[in-house]
């Protein structure tokens, strides 16, 4: 049964808008003006150490930001410089499998947009659906398949909820990312990411289905944030770190601990690629 707001209390929508305004004001009060934000998935945490003159705010200090409950996600915003850019790094995300809804990052992403961010870079750890992308590989996300059939925009009103997802992963940002990584002499594949709700891992039959649908990687994040970012008018770039072969494609025993260990083992090269990408971005 849904609780009825007491007389004079703000509606949930009004309260959410106020939290976003308060969070954006808190970010702006730091004097930093990031135009690029980066969300760090499992294995990508060391990227925050690449920022010069870092300033850290816990998510708890930002009313619109979520509380986190997954290992490997620190729950803090790090503001700093990378090359010529001011950057906001979000160390951790709320996953849809934690609550059963896809809108866990809604307040955070809308706060970023309200504070002047123009481009959002999403990272994740994912399972590979092809032996052409072995564990340790990185993949630029060209498109996604929403296997959960859920949306962070459920409950929105007005025509803006019908946001186009054509070129959701910005073609110009992807081209710049490919060029930046090529200059490092590193390989960077490109493919389709299938978003699976979780928290259980996929079955071998589901993996075979994803392969037939044309996906190269599968994971439990990123698509909801991309939808939210596009709805907020942000440009999006996403990079996956392939930590394992998906179910049925190897003899590996899948677990979250295995994902974290594999991500840590491959993070140095992945983080170097991400730093090069962000350093050369044109938001």
Per-residue pLDDT, 68: 85
Active site residue 23: no
Active site residue 186: no
In-domain check, residue 2: no
In-domain check, residue 119: yes
Active site residue 95: yes
In-domain check, residue 3: no
In terms of Cβ atoms closer than 10 Å to its own Cβ (0-12, 13-18, 19+), residue 16 is: middle
Active site residue 244: yes
Active site residue 150: no
From 48, 50, 95, 144, the catalytic residue: 95
User: Cα separation of 160 and 153, whole Å?
Assistant: 10
Active site residue 125: yes
In-domain check, residue 64: yes
Q: Which pLDDT tens digit goes with each residue over 113-155? A: 999 999 999 999 999 999 999 999 999 999 999 999 999 999 9
Instruction: Look up residue 14 and give its two tokens.
Output: 């009004």
**Token match 């994902």: residue?**
259
Active site residue 131: no
From 42, 128, 150, 267, the catalytic residue: 42
Long-range residue pairs from 206-211, CB within 8 A, at least 24 positions apart, any chain: 206/247, 207/127, 207/129, 207/246, 207/247, 207/248, 207/249, 208/248, 210/129, 210/145, 210/147, 210/246, 211/129, 211/130
Question: How many percent of the chain have pLDDT more than 70?
Answer: 94
Considering its fold, how many domains does the chain have in total?
Answer: 1
For residue 165, what is the domain's CATH number? 3.40.50.1580
Active site residue 97: yes
In-domain check, residue 4: no
| Parent domain of 231 | 12-279
In-domain check, residue 6: no
In-domain check, residue 221: yes
From 21, 86, 250, 256, the catalytic residue: 256
In-domain check, residue 1: no
Cα atoms in the 13 Å half-sphere on the side-chain side of 161 = 8
- How does pLDDT run along the chain (283 residues), one tens digit per residue? 445 556 667 898 899 999 999 999 999 999 999 999 999 998 899 999 999 999 999 999 999 999 987 655 579 999 999 999 999 999 999 999 999 999 999 999 999 999 999 999 999 999 999 999 999 999 999 999 999 999 999 999 999 999 999 999 999 999 999 999 999 998 899 999 999 999 999 999 999 999 999 999 999 999 999 999 999 999 999 999 999 999 989 877 767 676 777 767 778 899 999 999 999 999 8
């Amino acid at each position: 049964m849904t609780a009825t707001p007491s007389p004079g209390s703000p509606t949930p929508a009004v309260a959410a808008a106020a939290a976003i305004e308060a969070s954006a004001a808190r970010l702006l009060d730091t004097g930093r003006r990031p135009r690029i934000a980066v969300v760090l998935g499992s294995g990508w945490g060391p990227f925050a150490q690449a920022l010069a003159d870092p300033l850290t705010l816990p998510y708890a200090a930002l009313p619109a930001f979520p509380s986190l409950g997954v290992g490997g996600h620190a729950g803090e915003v790090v503001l700093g410089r990378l090359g010529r850019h001011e950057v906001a790094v979000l160390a951790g995300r709320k996953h849809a499998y934690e609550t059963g809804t896809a809108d866990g990052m809604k307040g955070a992403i809308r706060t970023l947009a309200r504070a002047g961010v123009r481009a959002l870079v999403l990272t994740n750890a994912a399972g590979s659906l092809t032996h052409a992308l072995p564990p340790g590989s990185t993949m630029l996300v060209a498109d996604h398949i929403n296997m959960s059939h859920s949306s962070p925009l459920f409950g929105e009103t007005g025509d803006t909820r019908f946001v186009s997802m054509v070129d959701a992963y910005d073609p110009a940002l992807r081209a710049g990312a490919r060029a930046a990584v090529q200059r490092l002499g590193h390989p960077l594949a490109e493919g389709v990411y299938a978003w699976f709700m979780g928290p259980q891992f996929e079955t071998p039959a589901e993996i075979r289905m994803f392969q037939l649908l044309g996906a190269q990687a599968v994971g439990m994040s990123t698509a909801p944030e991309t939808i939210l970012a596009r709805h907020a008018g942000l440009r999006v770039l996403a990079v996956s770190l392939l930590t394992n072969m998906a179910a049925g494609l190897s003899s590996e025993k899948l677990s979250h601990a295995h994902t974290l260990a594999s991500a840590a083992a491959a993070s140095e090269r992945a983080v170097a690629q991400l730093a090069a990408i962000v350093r050369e971005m044109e938001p």
